[in-house]
Amino acid sequence: MSDSVEGFDLDRYRASLSGKAATTIRAYLSDLDDFIGWAQAHGCGSPSLVTRVLLRRYLADLSTAGAARATVARRAATLRSYFDYLRRRGVIAVDPASRLSAPRGGGRLPQVVAASDLNDLLENISAGEDDRGRALALRDLAVLELLYGAGLRVSELCGVRRGDLNVKDRSIVVLGKGSKERRLPLHDQAIDALDQWIRIGLPVLATPATAPDAVFVNQRGNPLQPRDVRRILDARSPLPIHPHALRHSFATHLLDGGADLRVVQELLGHASLETTQIYTHVSKERLSSVYRATHPRA
């Protein structure tokens, strides 16, 4: 996280936390970095523009993306601390996070996007009229093909380097949670999208400061960040889709197609099969929905 995010006064807030444990400070600042990136991607560039509705939407998005209830509760606590600090300093007149809590209700199933909607998204990414617009379109397509086609976490995608790609074997190596590597297969469309982006699009956006082994960069040639990925989906998708929903959809569509649960576990990089089993519930829910909608006696 940068030391200062324009408009959000994070330097002084960090100083106000000096009495807290270092791990607590890091957690608060990491949480705020995520929220600020989300807020800016949704057109909110100043804490004075943040409303309670916006905060509730943010927490709901976290839940939809599969964040643990404890994580969502911690984010809510961070936001309460931060906005209370701004109110006490007179930066804002009304505290939108007062008594803010994590959304109630547990067991929410992950957001799954219909395969037809994903195909429409991937096949209808329009390019701009100049080289830069075409480069961004090639990048965005490669990003979305990888997220959905390989079931990557956003952090895994942002960490991909040239040496991780093996076009001949049609595979990619990613570094997952716990620094565990896994090799994943890539389909033809993902390989083609990556090839065109790296050959044609990347040289347009790269700068002298861009790392030579970089795969994905933002508009300034800097390493792509999770907030950039959120902006890509916000700009490209006609539906409100969180980036993590593409990973959920990857797993669910595999199971719908008959894939073995343990194979899906390996592809997702889950340490425990129990984590993967939530997608069996999603598939059952989808099957029940189709049954109720189509069977004459349902």
Q: Is 286 a catalytic residue?
A: no
Nearest one of 40, 42, 72 to 59, comparing CA atoms: 72
Of 75, 236, 242, 270, catalytic: 270
Of 88, 177, 220, 262, catalytic: 177
Half-sphere exposure of residue 37: CA atoms within 13 angstroms, side-chain side: 17
Of 75, 236, 242, 244, catalytic: 244
Amino acid at residue number 88? R
- Give me the DSSP letters along 163-201: GGEETTTTEEEEE-GGG-EEEEE--HHHHHHHHHIIIII
Alpha carbon distance 61, 76 (integer Å): 13
**Helix or strand holding residue 259 (H, E):** none
- Which residue stretches of the chain are H helix? 10-16, 22-41, 52-64, 69-89, 115-123, 131-149, 154-158, 188-196, 202-205, 226-236, 243-256, 261-268, 273-276, 278-294
The one-character DSSP state at 146 is H
Of 28, 75, 148, 153, catalytic: 153
Alpha carbon distance 66, 247 (integer Å): 10
Question: What SS3 state is found at 255?
Answer: helix
Q: Is 28 a catalytic residue?
A: no
Q: Is 153 a catalytic residue?
A: yes
The one-character DSSP state at 51 is -
Amino acid at residue number 151? G
Of 236, 247, 248, 253, catalytic: 247
φ/ψ (deg, to 5) at 98: -60, 125
Q: Is 20 a catalytic residue?
A: no
Q: Is 170 a catalytic residue?
A: no
List, by residue number, the catalytic residues.
Answer: 153, 177, 244, 247, 270, 279
